[in-house]
Amino acid sequence: MSLISKLLRKNTSPARIAGFALSNFIGLLIVAGAVMFYIDARGIWDDDDSIVNTDFIVVNKKVTSASTLGDRDVTKFTKEDISELQSQPWVRRVGEFSSSDFRVYASVSQGGRGMETALFFESVPDSFVDMKGSGWSFETGQTIVPVMIPKDYLALYNFGFAGSAGLPQLSEQLLTGIPLKLYMRSEDGRKSMSMEGRIVGFSNRLNTVLVPDSFMQYANSQLGSDHKEAPSRLIIDVSSPGDVAISEYLSGHGLEVAGDKSGSSAAYLLKVVIGIVVSVGILITLLSVFVLMLSISLLMEKNRSVIHRLLMLGATLREVAAPYNMMIALGCVAAWILSVVALLLLRSFYSVALEGLGISSDGLIWAVATGTVLALIVIFVNIVAVNRKVKSAWALKMNNA
Amino acid sequence: MTSRIEEITLDALLPRVFAREEMSSSKVWRKKVVLRRGGRYLVESASGGGKSSLAAFIMGSRNDYEGKLMFNGHDAKSLSISDWQDIRRSHIAYLPQELALFPELSAIDNIRMKAEISDYQDMSRIEMWLDRLGMTDRRDYLAGRLSIGQQQRVALIRSLCQPFDFILLDEPVSHLDASNNRIAAAIVEEEAERQGAGIITFSVGNPLLIDNPEKLNL
């Protein structure tokens, strides 16, 4: 260690540096912790079922008396409707729902008990379904069809039907393990096929029984009539889900959004709380930067005669500033290391609780990245301040008598 | 400022605070004086004659003067911060009147600090100077705990720990007895001779005893 830093360190109080490191640590922890929690728990309040992205909305035309009375085409989307939608500025892309052009019967038999129901299938383009590695695919020759049903169906069964009919309640895990026997028959009854279905997911947003698009095309080609029906529902990828223009357009055109839960007050509240926590964290970090700058200023003011003597001996501005910069960097690095350790601890506390809700693994990375960027900003700002202070010590000396 | 400073020229130099005063008796203020490398100068003045101001002008810590100060013909006011740092590190050695030691460091650390800044390597010479000035047994004392006379000797040795073209000594022996004064003068003369440097010493009555200095009254 050079004698200059030995000298300047003798004129520095360690408590001051520790105080700076501590306030910096608290600021970093609050900001990075909030970022981590937000990213990790995003799935909970984003109303995202991890299957369909939140940026997608599903729309259909309002069912009116006319459609009930037989004119089903009233609720279909024409090509003009779709291209008009496509031209809206908030629309990234539009996907059509394909319906099954055949009859579907599904049956379950478990432990001697059996259930059978008439069913229908719909599909959307695969690019709208986000189920990485969950077997959301179908190739010709495959005997198992992945199926996705709305969460609400399960709730209806569990809390409405099962109780009154004396049937057991079913969990999601249990259901995904049960094979469904699917019997599909063409409208005219001439052609049919049997397959096995497996429920691979439950959706909040898509109120339909969904199968992969490739299966739908295959089954329709096998069992359907060649007549292709216009879609009655569309899935839209929107650029800004909260945009008022969207709701104005939709209500103006008599369209309804399915499964719209974006107004959920709990999610909104959580977002507000996280926002407040992040702002407080940023405020504390800013304050700690400010406190450090003030205390460095004071310290250098106090050490002005020492700095003057060093400069008179021919020490360069850099040589004089270096020990201060080193103290700042050490304080910041210490605060950074502490905050990473604290983040790991924090995460181990809540990760168990969030496990079942589908915790994302990105939180820690983003938190550490945020902390690193903040720490670098703190170091940079303070080093600039120190260098300016040393330079100003020189300038003042030149002008004052 | 990589080459040596051959001459320091004071051209009609005058501290701004003296602007309204008559300076006719001064051989320096408002006159043209050329201080040459290798020369020996004794600047004498009464208290308040402005000798510390002159030292501060030459060392670049003040520039509140009228007239011109030049190194090798270059105006001192045009020098950059790094030029001044270079001058202080390796062209002009300086012992200020107030010594400017660091009381929280030991005597030897004060000297080493200067050696470190000026990248001066010759530690055996430093030990020899300490010995000749009777400071060897005080080398590890904190500078703040030494007597003024002892501090003066430490500061003198410190000022010598660098390459220099001129050495500026502001009342270097005010608290030394005659024998220490002679030893100090001998050391300064030897070192100046070895480096081919000029000596500029200031005094208000107890001058450093160097041989035949050119006397300049402020």
Query: Measured between alpha carbons, how far is A382 from A23 in angstroms, rounded to an integer?
Result: 14
Decide if pLDDT at A151 tops 90. Answer: no
Decide if pLDDT at A207 tops 80. Answer: no
Range of the domain at B130: 7-217
Query: Measured between alpha carbons, how far is A159 from A142 in angstroms, rounded to an integer?
Result: 34
Task: Enumerate the residues of chain B whose CB falls inside 8 A of the CB of residue A397.
Answer: 61-62
Q: How confident is the model at residue A156 (pLDDT cuts 50, 70, 90)?
A: confident
* Range in B40-54, B91-105, B130-144 the model is least confident about: B40-54
Nearest to A2 among B61, B89, B116 (CB): B116
| pLDDT digits 0-9 by tens, A50-77 | 444 556 788 888 877 766 666 667 788 8
Decide if pLDDT at B20 tops 70. Answer: yes
**B61 lies within 8 A of chain A by CB:** yes
Across the interface, whether the CB atoms of A7 and B62 are under 8 A apart is answered: no
What's the average model confidence in pLDDT over B26-54? 90
Q: How confident is the model at residue B60 (pLDDT cuts 50, 70, 90)?
A: very high
Mutate to test the interface with A, among B54, B69, B102 (most CBs of A within 10 A): B102
* SS3 state of residue A164: helix
How far apart, in Å, are the Cα atoms of B188 and each of B129, B180, B208? 10, 12, 9
CA distance B179 to chain A (A): 28
Q: Are strands B198-203 and B214-217 parallel, antiparallel or unpaired?
A: unpaired
Decide if pLDDT at A47 tops 50. Answer: no
Decide if pLDDT at B133 tops 60. Answer: yes
What's the average model confidence in pLDDT over A182-188? 86
Query: Measured between alpha carbons, how far is B210 from B218 in angstroms, rounded to an integer?
Result: 19
pLDDT of residue A264: 47
pLDDT of residue A155: 81
CA A20 to centroid of chain Cα atoms: 34
pLDDT of residue A321: 92
The answer on A189 and A93 residing in a single domain is: yes
The answer on A246 and A126 residing in a single domain is: yes
Q: Which of A206-215, A293-302, B131-140 has the highest mean pLDDT?
A: B131-140
Among the three residues A262, A277, A300, which one is the final residue of a domain in this structure? Answer: A262
pLDDT of residue A39: 79
The answer on A159 and A212 residing in a single domain is: yes
Among the three residues A231, A262, A293, which one is the final residue of a domain in this structure? Answer: A262
Number of domain units in chain B = 1
Across the interface, whether the CB atoms of B88 and A313 are under 8 A apart is answered: yes
Q: How confident is the model at residue B91 (pLDDT cuts 50, 70, 90)?
A: very high
What's the average model confidence in pLDDT over A325-342? 91
What's the average model confidence in pLDDT over B5-26? 88
Number of domain units in chain A = 2
Residue A306 within a domain: yes
Percent share of chain A, pLDDT over 90: 7
Sign (positive or negative) of CA dihedral B172, B176, B177, B179 = negative
Q: Are strands A103-110 and B214-217 parallel, antiparallel or unpaired?
A: unpaired
Across the interface, whether the CB atoms of B116 and A397 are under 8 A apart is answered: no
Nearest to B117 among A11, A314, A401 (CB): A314
Among the three residues A262, A285, A310, which one is the final residue of a domain in this structure? Answer: A262
Task: Enumerate the residues of chain B whose CB falls inside 8 A of the CB of residue A6.
Answer: 105, 109
Decide if pLDDT at B12 tops 60. Answer: yes
pLDDT of residue A360: 61
Residue A105 identity (one-letter amino acid): Y
Q: How far apart are the first and last CA of chain B?
A: 28
Token pair for residue A354?
């969030």
Residue A51 within a domain: no
Task: Enumerate the residues of chain B whose CB falls inside 8 A of the CB of residue A394.
Answer: 81
DSSP letters spanning A92-115: EEEEEPEEPSSEEEEEEEETTEEE
Query: Measured between alpha carbons, how far is A220 from A186 in angstroms, rounded to an integer?
Result: 9
Helix, strand, coil % over all residues of chain A, rounded to 5: 55, 15, 25
The answer on A141 and A40 residing in a single domain is: no
CB B143 within 8 A of CB B103: yes
What's the average model confidence in pLDDT over A257-275? 65
The phi and psi torsions of A364 (rounded to 5 degrees) equal -65, -45
Helix axes B178-195, B148-160, angle to 10 degrees: 10
CB A118 within 8 A of CB A104: yes
**Does an H or E element contain A123, and which?**
strand A122-123
- Residues of A near B (Cβ–Cβ under 8 Å) read 2-4, 6-7, 10-11, 306, 308-317, 319, 391, 394, 397-401
Which residues are within 8 A (CB) of B54 and not within 5 positions of it... i.e. 6 or more apart? B10, B13, B15, B28, B43, B202, B218
Count CB-CB contacts under 10 A for residue A171. Answer: 10
What's the average model confidence in pLDDT over A324-336? 90
pLDDT of residue A48: 46
pLDDT of residue A110: 67
Q: How confident is the model at residue B130 (pLDDT cuts 50, 70, 90)?
A: very high
| pLDDT digits 0-9 by tens, A17-28 | 888 888 888 888
The answer on A272 and A195 residing in a single domain is: no
What's the average model confidence in pLDDT over B160-176? 94
Angle at B58 between CA B97 and CA B68, to 5 degrees: 140
Range of the domain at A271: 3-46+266-399
* Range in A163-172, A340-349, A367-376, B58-67 the model is least confident about: A163-172
Decide if pLDDT at B73 tops 60. Answer: yes
Query: Measured between alpha carbons, how far is B159 from A357 in angstroms, rounded to an integer?
Result: 73
Looking at per-residue pLDDT, the higher value among A264 and A102 belongs to A102
Which residues are within 8 A (CB) of A349 and not within 5 positions of it... i.e. 6 or more apart? none
Task: Enumerate the residues of chain A whose CB falls inside 8 A of the CB of residue B82.
Answer: 316
Mean pLDDT of chain B: 92
- ipTM surpasses 0.90: yes
Q: B105: nearest CA in chain A?
A: A7
Which residues are within 8 A (CB) of A189 and not within 5 positions of it... i.e. 6 or more apart? none
| pLDDT digits 0-9 by tens, A368-377 | 999 999 899 8
The answer on A111 and A179 residing in a single domain is: yes
Token pair for residue A70?
């037989």
The answer on A275 and A242 residing in a single domain is: no
Residue B32's domain is classified under what CATH number? Answer: 3.40.50.300
Task: Enumerate the residues of chain A whose CB falls inside 8 A of the CB of residue B62.
Answer: 397-398, 400-401
Q: A309: nearest CA in chain B?
A: B100
What's the average model confidence in pLDDT over A143-160? 83
The answer on A133 and A146 residing in a single domain is: yes
Task: Enumerate the residues of chain B whose CB falls inside 8 A of the CB of residue A391.
Answer: 81
What's the average model confidence in pLDDT over B178-186? 94
What's the average model confidence in pLDDT over A206-233? 83
**B96 lies within 8 A of chain A by CB:** yes
Q: Which of A13-27, A84-98, A264-278, B130-144 has the highest mean pLDDT?
A: B130-144
Token pair for residue A393?
């010590």
What's the average model confidence in pLDDT over A230-246? 78
Task: Enumerate the residues of chain A whose CB falls inside 8 A of the CB of residue B104.
Answer: 7, 10-11
The 8-class DSSP code of residue A198 comes to: E
The answer on A258 and A136 residing in a single domain is: yes
Query: Measured between alpha carbons, how far is A50 from A28 in angstroms, rounded to an integer?
Result: 30
CA A75 to centroid of chain Cα atoms: 33
* Range in A262-266, A355-359, B74-78, B136-140 the model is least confident about: A262-266
Q: How confident is the model at residue B40 (pLDDT cuts 50, 70, 90)?
A: very high
CA B217 to centroid of chain Cα atoms: 17
Of the candidates A295, A365, A366, A378, which has an alpha carbon nearest to the alpha carbon of residue A336?
A378
